[in-house]
Structure 1
Amino acid sequence: MLRISLEQWRMFRSVVEFGGFNQASQGVHKSQSSIHNAVGKIEESLRIKLFRIEGRKTVLTEAGELMLKRANYLLDEAEKIEAVGKTLGNGTESQLKIAIDEMFNQTILYQVLEKVSRLYPMLQIELVESILSGANELIENAEVDIAISPISLRDGFSEPLCHIEFVAVANPEHSLHLLERELTLQDLKGHRQIVVRDSALTTKRNEGRLGANQRRTVSHMQTSIDMVCNGLGYAWLPAPSIKTQLETEQLKPLQLKHNGKRSTQLQLIFKDADRLGPAAKSFLSELRAQCKNLPTV
């Protein structure tokens, strides 16, 4: 039989989070005496001291720091159990939020969404288009249920989904094509590069930027494609996204001596499979089926 309740562990954690008993009382809307009693119960039951007073500060003891790590895990797992139970109790979810990196093959995405929509006609699907670490940030902040991202999830599930090939391209009339020879990195540095900024609000990554003396930074992949088609610069663009432009010769691959093509691994990421409802699992199943014949690791 457990001698310490989850609520007592929550009170202990609140003292740490808010920086003291009085602050915790205001933060969790409990009386200061009830918080003191909860912490005292833990200390009495385990025969340890969780806090010490340094001046006006309430500081964790060494034992308190160890117990906080365990309490955080315990409380987080308890929240997950409740969330799973809620998912099971609600049956089919009414809404599914998905973050999709803009480099992902749009044709495949639309096919998957159409299949899921037929299976769950009342399902509301919200797509959030992202770049680089933007999808991971949305998952970490619990703003979406599932994401497709080029970056593995630090704390959660990551599954290799497919590779996306990037091609260095420019408008056929671009001066780089007029050189009529293999191009070097030094050749590129003298021309304007179009890059797409990371959509994350906190941790941003800079990838695919080669120190061009001139650069135009945009927020969406389609803007980058349009600018390159109009001769405003060159860029590495995802091959599935520019298939039509290459076929109609609006874009032409650059004759690079090295790295004319690149490949990026896309990951399927989510926090906890047990918290996903039937519609979300159907989306995952159909997505895997559509991508199984595409290049992976």
Structure 2
Amino acid sequence: MLKISLEQWRMFHAVVEFGGFNQASQGVYKSQSSIHNAVSKIEASLGVKLFTIQGRTTVLTEAGKMILKRSHYLLDEAKKVEAIGMTLSQGIETHLKIAVDEIFPRALLYKVLEEVSATFPLVQIELLESILSGANEMLQNNDADIAISPNLLGTQFSEHLCQVKFGAVASPDHPLQQLQRKLTLEDLKGYRQIVVRDSAKLKNTERANEGWLEANQRWTVSHMQSSIDMISKGLGFAWLPLSLIEDQLNDGSLLPLKLEENRERTAPLYLAYKDIDSLGPVAQYFINKLKANCPKPSTSE
């Protein structure tokens, strides 16, 4: 059984925070004698002196400084337990699992997640990154509360969120960049294409792959970043989400291919959830913030 109560620790911290017993009594609306009593019980239980008086100033002893540092954790954890209890009593979920396709713009996603955490600081967010059918599969298997996917999950469950722009790119040293003319899709067929594999746990014959698939030679990878790395090293070409390769385009490690047509393409992303009414306040807040921050599609898209 614990010898010291949380209330006694709180009185000890009050003396430190307000700079003395008298000031602490005014700060926490307790009598000076009750604060003295709480600190004395801590000192007696631990067998150490926490404060010393220097002139008119109450000062922590070396032991007091160490105890203060350690006891901060106790009070912080107690506050968290109380906050979680209040969260549960109000019906606010403690976890939020979001399955997000890797083509979704990172900066926008991080901005929305930061807004969610600022409003609900105790909610633990789990980000599940996926490709193609993966996000919807996690939603259907109850491994995610919300999915952002390039594939529809039934008209009653999915809604259009945004359009993602893709560009055909290769490194500056790639042979396609050395051709002194406009390129056709036929030109691309003779060079290696880097393809991103569907992350859903489907049979190989049921999996989709990302992008144009008519090149005679292909390397298939599991993550968009692997594709970006390979193409930057001159190992192939691909259509990549422009939002994910801004740095490479700016520093020249990737360059657009000079295609006659289809240099850029767009792909839709959909927001999916099983039942909006079953989602908690945090999930609904995330959805609303996501919609508010996503650029509205133009009439030409």
TM-score grouping bracket, smaller chain normalisation: 0.5 to 0.7
Aligned to 1:267: 270
Q: TM-score, normalised by structure 2?
A: 0.67
Give per-residue Cα distances to partners, 1:193-243, cap 9 Å, x unaligned. 001000011242234233212111100001100110111100100010011
CA contact (8 A) 1:156 1:270 kept: no
* Percent identity between the two aligned chains: 56
Residues 138-153 of structure 1: matches in 2 within 5 Å? Answer: 138-153=138-153
CA distance in 2, matches of 1:164, 1:295: 12
Aligned to 1:228: 231
Go from structure 1 to structure 2 and tell me whether the alpha carbon gap of 1:295 and 1:118 turns closer, same or farther (over 3 Å shift).
farther
CA contact (8 A) 1:194 1:215 kept: yes
CA distance in 2, matches of 1:162, 1:241: 15
Q: Counterpart amino acid of 1:250? A: S
Unaligned 5+ segments in structure 2 are 1-87
Aligned to 2:293: 290
Q: Counterpart amino acid of 2:260? A: K
Single out whichever of 213-222 and 147-156 deviates more from structure 2.
Answer: 147-156
Aligned to 2:157: 157
Kindly tell me the number of residue pairs found equivalent between the two proteins.
211
Aligned to 1:254: 257
Q: TM-score, normalised by structure 1?
A: 0.68
Aligned to 2:219: 216
CA contact (8 A) 2:162 2:270 kept: yes
Q: Indicate whether 1:130 and 2:95 are aligned.
A: no
2:139 counterpart SS class: helix
CA contact (8 A) 1:189 1:210 kept: no
CA contact (8 A) 1:171 1:231 kept: yes
2:245 counterpart SS class: helix
Q: 1:89: Cα distance to partner?
A: 7.3
Give per-residue Cα distances to partners, 1:154-175, cap 9 Å, x unaligned. 2742111110000000001111
Aligned to 1:101: 101
1:126 counterpart SS class: strand
Q: Counterpart amino acid of 1:115? A: E
Q: Indicate whether 1:183 and 2:183 are aligned.
A: yes
Go from structure 1 to structure 2 and tell me whether the alpha carbon gap of 1:229 and 1:100 turns closer, same or farther (over 3 Å shift).
same
Q: Counterpart amino acid of 1:225? A: I
1:122 counterpart SS class: coil
CA distance in 2, matches of 1:161, 1:183: 33
Q: 1:294: Cα distance to partner?
A: 5.5
Q: Counterpart amino acid of 1:97? A: K
CA distance in 2, matches of 1:283, 1:214: 41
CA distance in 1, matches of 2:137, 2:242: 26
1:172 counterpart SS class: coil
Go from structure 1 to structure 2 and tell me whether the alpha carbon gap of 1:195 and 1:245 turns closer, same or farther (over 3 Å shift).
same
CA contact (8 A) 2:191 2:217 kept: yes
Aligned to 1:120: 120
CA contact (8 A) 2:196 2:210 kept: no
Aligned to 1:70: none
CA contact (8 A) 1:189 1:213 kept: yes
Aligned alpha-carbon RMSD (Å): 1.8
CA contact (8 A) 2:197 2:210 kept: no
Q: Indicate whether 1:200 and 2:203 are aligned.
A: no
CA contact (8 A) 2:117 2:123 kept: yes
CA contact (8 A) 1:156 1:269 kept: no
Q: Counterpart amino acid of 1:199? A: S
Single out whichever of 201-210 and 241-250 deviates more from structure 2.
Answer: 201-210
Q: Counterpart amino acid of 1:268? A: L
CA contact (8 A) 1:162 1:295 kept: no
Q: 1:292: Cα distance to partner?
A: 4.0
Q: 1:108: Cα distance to partner?
A: 0.2
Unaligned 5+ segments in structure 1 are 1-87
Q: 1:295: Cα distance to partner?
A: 4.9
Q: Counterpart amino acid of 2:279? A: L
CA contact (8 A) 2:96 2:123 kept: yes
